[in-house]
């Protein structure tokens, strides 16, 4: 029997479909997401060699996941590379700066870890329809895994999301509708869940609490892969782009469970990269739960939230980490550096992880000897329009080679005629 636990009041729940957070804390006006209670006792003798080499990817770590998983809904998610950022790291004075490139997942984002586990849970619990309110990555991933499971999928989005995102979600066969406001999407989705038992892969509460607790467990496999690639050692710092902090909390929980099992020696400091900074503000003001902050729009639209969540704040507080507020200018600088100096093209919200590190370096808040891992959550091709703002128009070459050399010099600063 898999139970859900409130991380605040520690109440345990046996209702597998409790997707609206802790009812007790809700009564006290503290919105808190539930989390899967993992009984580590039977896993006490788990050794790293017990994680099988095949199948490659997330389902190797099935022992830590809250589903039977005999027939997982999978597209080969996980097993993404941990890339040593020698050039960017060297420039920042960080010898051990790494990127976990999650854009190499099946729908080009780390949401596939969440959706593979959540949709597997949906199938195992007899769901007939899957639903999500999303501005992009989470929706695209939900649509793909619903298609894989052969289940219909209803997605509530906003008219303002990039065309690429709408195309992806619809291409996978989801019924996508544009809602007038963010709050309206959650209300419509809640009615589908409550009236017809639609299975939600994401949250629909106001204020937000975070996503489906079973899906969040999928992010623990990211912690496993990072630790394994570092020789079963924990990094010192993990930076995750965060809005409602599903990824931040899931990676933290994975690290904490690995440490509790003795498979790594400590839990890394977690850092949230956030455009508006609700978690940073809550830490600074010593709040028990984040309060909404002001936000004026961000190129990192997929993480631009005025709300933080209890789960995110908890991951930062328990690991001794930070929230770092990032600007559009800093995000573009990081996006350009990752693409041009390392060959890794990620979307603006992913680049925010590097922006946060650049800011921590400027504040001398990181030790240059530390091992730092950036979670790069999604591909730059998800929002190509954002990158066009810092790219020149493609110039015409003409048909004369000397004219071409002049074009290369003028447009790209390349002196190739020597």
Per CB under 5 A, the segment of 3-11, 240-248, 374-382, 408-416 that binds Zn ion is: 3-11
**188 burial class (0-12, 13-18, 19+ CB within 10 angstroms)?**
middle
Neighbours of 82 (CB within 10 A): 15
For 88, the enclosing helix (H) or strand (E) is helix 86-92
Minimum CB distance to Zn ion smaller for 237 or for 282? 282
Shortest Å distance, C-beta 21 to Zn ion: 8
The one among 4, 8, 239, 350 contacting Zn ion by CB under 5 A: 8
**53 burial class (0-12, 13-18, 19+ CB within 10 angstroms)?**
exposed
Minimum CB distance to Zn ion smaller for 12 or for 177? 12
Per CB under 5 A, the segment of 5-13, 76-84, 146-154, 168-176 that binds Zn ion is: 5-13
34 binds Zn ion (CB under 5 A): no
Return the structure tokens found at 15.
């209702």
Question: Could you tell me whether strands 12-13 and 3-5 are parallel, antiparallel, or unpaired per DSSP bridges?
Answer: antiparallel
Strand, coil or helix: 334? helix
Minimum CB distance to Zn ion smaller for 27 or for 49? 27
Minimum CB distance to Zn ion smaller for 24 or for 306? 24
The one among 4, 19, 20, 22 contacting Zn ion by CB under 5 A: 22
What CA–CA distance (Å, rounded) separates 416 from 397?
15
The mark string for 127-156 relative to Zn ion (x by CB under 5 A, - otherwise) is: ------------------------------
Strand, coil or helix: 130? strand
Shortest Å distance, C-beta 12 to Zn ion: 10
In sequence order, what are the residues at sequence separation of 6 or more whose Cβ sits closer than 8 angstroms to the Cβ of residue 33?
Answer: 7, 21, 22, 203, 209, 210, 211, 213, 216, 309, 310, 311
**Alpha carbon of residue 390 to chain centroid:** 25
Shortest Å distance, C-beta 159 to Zn ion: 36
The one among 5, 16, 24, 292 contacting Zn ion by CB under 5 A: 24
Minimum CB distance to Zn ion smaller for 313 or for 386? 313
Minimum CB distance to Zn ion smaller for 9 or for 177? 9
314 binds Zn ion (CB under 5 A): no
Shortest Å distance, C-beta 75 to Zn ion: 35
Question: Could you tell me whether strands 269-274 and 175-179 are parallel, antiparallel, or unpaired per DSSP bridges?
Answer: unpaired
Minimum CB distance to Zn ion smaller for 14 or for 49? 14
**Residues interacting with Zn ion, by CB under 5 A?**
6, 8-9, 22, 24-25
């Amino acid at each position: 029997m898999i139970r859900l636990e409130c991380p605040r009041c520690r109440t345990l729940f046996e209702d597998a479909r409790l997707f609206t957070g802790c009812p007790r804390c809700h009564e006290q006006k503290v919105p808190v997401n539930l989390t899967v209670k993992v009984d580590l006792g039977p896993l006490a003798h788990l050794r790293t060699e017990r994680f099988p080499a095949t199948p490659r990817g997330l389902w190797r770590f099935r022992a830590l996941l809250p589903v039977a998983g005999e027939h997982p809904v999978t597209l080969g998610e996980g097993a993404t590379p941990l890339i040593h950022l020698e050039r960017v790291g060297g420039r920042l004075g960080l010898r051990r700066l790494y990127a976990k490139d999650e854009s190499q997942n099946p729908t080009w984002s780390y949401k596939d870890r969440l959706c593979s586990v959540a949709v597997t849970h949906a199938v195992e619990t007899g769901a007939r329809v899957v639903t999500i309110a999303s501005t992009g990555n989470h929706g695209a991933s939900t649509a793909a895994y619903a298609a894989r499971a052969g289940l219909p999928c209803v997605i509530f989005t906003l008219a303002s999301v990039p065309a690429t995102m709408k195309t992806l979600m619809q291409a996978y066969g989801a019924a996508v509708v544009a809602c007038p406001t963010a709050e309206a999407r959650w209300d419509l989705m809640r009615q589908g869940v409550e009236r017809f038992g639609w299975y939600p892969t994401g949250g629909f509460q106001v204020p937000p609490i975070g996503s489906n607790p079973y899906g969040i467990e999928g992010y623990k496999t990211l912690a496993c892969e990072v630790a394994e690639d570092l020789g079963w050692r924990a990094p010192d710092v993990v930076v995750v782009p965060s809005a409602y902090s599903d990824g931040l909390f899931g990676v933290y929980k994975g690290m904490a469970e690995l440490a509790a099992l003795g498979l790594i020696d400590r839990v890394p400091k977690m850092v949230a990269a956030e455009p508006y900074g609700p978690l940073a503000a809550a830490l600074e003001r010593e709040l028990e739960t984040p309060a909404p902050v002001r936000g004026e729009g961000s190129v990192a639209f997929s993480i631009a939230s005025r709300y933080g969540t209890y789960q995110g704040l908890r991951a930062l507080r328990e690991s001794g980490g930070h929230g770092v507020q990032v600007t559009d200018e800093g995000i573009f600088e990081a996006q350009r550096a990752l693409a041009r100096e390392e060959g890794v093209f990620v979307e603006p919200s992913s680049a925010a992880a590097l922006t946060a590190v650049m800011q921590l370096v400027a504040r001398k808040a990181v030790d240059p000897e530390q091992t730092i891992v950036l979670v790069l959550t999604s591909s730059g091709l998800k929002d190509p329009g954002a990158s066009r703002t810092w790219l020149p128009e493609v110039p015409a070459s003409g048909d004369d080679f000397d004219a071409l050399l002049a074009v290369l010099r003028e447009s790209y600063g390349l002196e190739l005629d020597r």
